[in-house]
Amino acid sequence: MLTKLGKSSAAFLLVLLCSQALAATALTGKQAADGLKALLEQGSELAISQLGQSGGFSQNAKWRIPLPKALDKPAKLMRNLGQGAMVDELENNLNSAAEQAIPHARELLVNSIRQMTLQDASQILSSHPTAATEYLSRTSREQLRERFLPIVKQTTAGSPLISQYNQLAGQASGLGLGLGKKQSLSAEDYVTDKALDALFGVLGEQEASLRANPAKATGSLLKGVLEAFRK
């Protein structure tokens, strides 16, 4: 039978063990969150460096921004009339605007990543291969759009080609030429949306790749977290 002192010691030991177990659990959760944040930071830097440079869009077969479908006929007509160089210059101008906007995503992406909670991280790591990218898109896309749009407008300001683009887009919209359910297709809106699609597209590819191959991740913490949650 335990003495009073023995009982007190046993109770203290039990409390200590429980405290240590809770601390270990919390540390594991924090490590998971830190690992996920590292994944997103690594993916974001890759996407920004890949897209936010000269040729990042214009020389990228997958992410090059074409004229919208509604302007296919006017562009074809211009080419038939010997104005193909003007069409090409317009496309290059749109892609250049996206390339100049992308680097400005860094601060907002970092802020969204840092605001991720332990609960968010646990749910994301247990979910599908691009869940973290989708989280980041939900929490930062509209802010990024607001940040990108003025940059795109500044880049394209004063261009007679952009003015013609917007005029043609307005005419196409008025004729109902397949612009879809969304919004206006001004050059600035169109480029901004395409730039965001590419940014999160590259980030999603990077996330899925690292989840499938944790050994490619930078840093032992990230590798360990991805291995632990790998399905």
Q: Print pLDDT tens along the chain (231 aa).
A: 445 444 444 433 333 333 333 333 333 678 888 888 988 999 999 999 999 999 999 999 999 999 877 677 878 888 898 888 888 888 888 999 999 999 999 999 999 999 999 889 888 888 899 999 999 999 999 999 999 999 999 888 877 777 777 776 666 555 554 444 444 568 889 999 999 999 999 999 999 998 888 888 777 777 777 777 665
| Lookup: tokens for 105 | 């995503």
Contact 206, 46 (CB under 8 A): yes
Instruction: Please state the separation of Cα 154 from the chain's center in Å.
Output: 22
The C-alpha atoms of residue 8 and residue 111 are separated, in whole angstroms, by 48
pLDDT at 31: 82
pLDDT at 158: 74
The CA-based angle 133-64-85, given to 5 degrees, is: 160
pLDDT at 231: 54
pLDDT at 9: 42
Cβ-Cβ contacts under 8 Å for 145 (sequence gap 6 or more) = 192, 193, 196
The C-alpha atoms of residue 114 and residue 105 are separated, in whole angstroms, by 14
Q: What is the pTM of this model?
A: 0.79
Cβ-Cβ contacts under 8 Å for 40 (sequence gap 6 or more) = 109, 113, 132, 133, 136, 203, 207
pLDDT at 14: 35
DSSP class of residue 25? Answer: H
Contact 162, 187 (CB under 8 A): yes
